[in-house]
Chains A and B, each alone.
Chain A
Amino acid sequence: MKPAAFKYVRAATVPEAASLLAEYGDEAKVLAGGQSLIPMMSMRLARPEVLVDIARIPGLNEIEANGVLTIGATTTQSAVIRSDVVSAFAPIIGVALGHVGHVGNRSRGTFGGTVAHADPASEMPAVLLALDAEIIATGPSGQRTIAVEDFFVTTFETALADDEVLTSIRLLAPTGNACWSFNEVARRHGDYALVGVAATAELDGAGKVTKARIALSGVSDTPVRVKEAEESLIGKTLSDGAKVAGEIVSSSIDPPGDFHATKQYRIEVAGAIVTRALNEMADQKGTR
């Protein structure tokens, strides 16, 4: 029994969860899959007085696609990986989720949790940035939509208010001939990656890039887009632009160094995996 004592409340509905969060303020935390929060509590890095368990709220774990893809926050990562709807709409999501921890973490860890936790080394925030996703949050006064660009504030901090529950993630279908790639370098499979890249592009009839988004994990306190590298691809085929885009990425990021990898190593890996991702991308068609 390692965590400090707390009060446990299992919310039956989203409004109930939001009002509990409003009542207890910053002493309360949402509990979803617990795969990040419980280890942090066991190590006493987190000590919430109240946990509001949202995992059994009916309807919060549904996946729906009708022009727009909506993934409910408490859908487990394993369920998202298994979903044919998700893999048809955005194959990058399942591929990248396969890198989130191990099978025994993904069976409990939720899709919303890996976004709300806002670990800058985490895969899904970068993927959602590359997909231009929308985050739906519900608080005591109702629902709002947050653009992914505005969602990640800094390490472990998001635009969610203390009394808001992330209820779903929404993706719009792209317009053109779209493709995607996900790539990361980790010391061991299932570890947090040293650097990861999620990239998406839309191509014209001649295979030239009309739009591109390149998002990196592990290089800053939030996932980051490298817009200059994205722009460098416009009007070129992916394979023609891949090398230069990787070089731009290396010269424009300022990643941290730690005992897993030095700053310089991360700079070089980031450039290399961006080039690799762009070279692989033309073969990875998919709505996105």
Chain B
Amino acid sequence: MSTNDQSAAATAEERIVRITVNGTAMSGIAEPRLLLHDFLRHELELTGTHAGCEHGVCGACTIRLNGEVVRSCIMFAVQADGASIETVEGMANNGVLHPIQVAFQEEHGLQCGFCTPGMLMATQTLLEENPDPSEDEIREYLSGNICRCTGYVGIVASVKSAAKKLSVIQSNANGKA
């Protein structure tokens, strides 16, 4: 193993990474060691995804990759080549907040907002998998997303409220069909 950065740098070749982000095909240049959250933030200029601990512990960098919750700080951009990614930027529709975002706003699911993009992406996936989660299920699912402000009570209330909003939208849609 090398103790010398330069010799290693000489072997590291940059490459083009192509991903679909929130439905739009995008590409950028990444050397292999570029982490996915840095690629999203600096290369694609999508700064909604936050960088917290940058070693996989806090969940601030949570995105969805091919529909699954993933931590973008412990994945290299080159590993994501060809993937379909969703970030918090894709949640609102033409300036109208997503029902999950509205629920977080109404139920005080955020204060400083640092953890919020990750919380929202994880919540969206939770509610797709389990549309009516219990408090225990919510706490377990979000256990990998750390919030230093809210004390989590507001977040649990937000997720419950979001579940209700989404089920009403769903049943209205079913009624119309």
Contact = CB atoms under 8 A, between A and B. Distances in A.
| 7 pairs of A and B residues whose beta carbons are closest in the complex | A102-B144, A8-B32, A5-B12, A107-B68, A39-B55, A38-B74, A5-B8
B45 interface: no
Interface string B21-57: 0000000000111110010000000000000001111
B2 A103 contact: no
Contacts of B13: 7
Given A1-B35, A53-B79, A104-B59, 11 more contacts: A3-B33, A5-B11, A8-B12, A43-B55, A47-B2, A47-B3, A103-B125, A104-B71, A108-B75, A189-B140, A190-B143
Contacts of A2: 35, 54
B112 interface: no
Size class of the A contact interface (CB-based, 8 Å): 35 or more
Given A7-B11, A35-B56, A107 B70 contact: yes
Chain B interface secondary structure, helix, strand, loop or mixed? mixed
B12 A7 contact: yes
Contacts of B125: 103
Contacts of B79: 31, 34, 53, 55
A3 B79 CA distance: 15
Nearest to A28: B1
Contact of B56 (A8, A38, A53, A188): A38
Interface string B53-71: 0111101001001001111
A16 B70 CA distance: 28
B143 A188 contact: yes
Contacts of A42: 35, 54-55, 73-74
Interface string A88-116: 00000000000001111101100000000
Nearest to A29: B1
B23 to A, nearest CB: 20
Contacts of A27: 1-2
B143 A49 contact: no
A205 B140 CA distance: 39
10 contacts: A2-B35, A5-B11, A8-B76, A38-B74, A39-B74, A42-B73, A47-B1, A47-B2, A103-B125, A189-B139
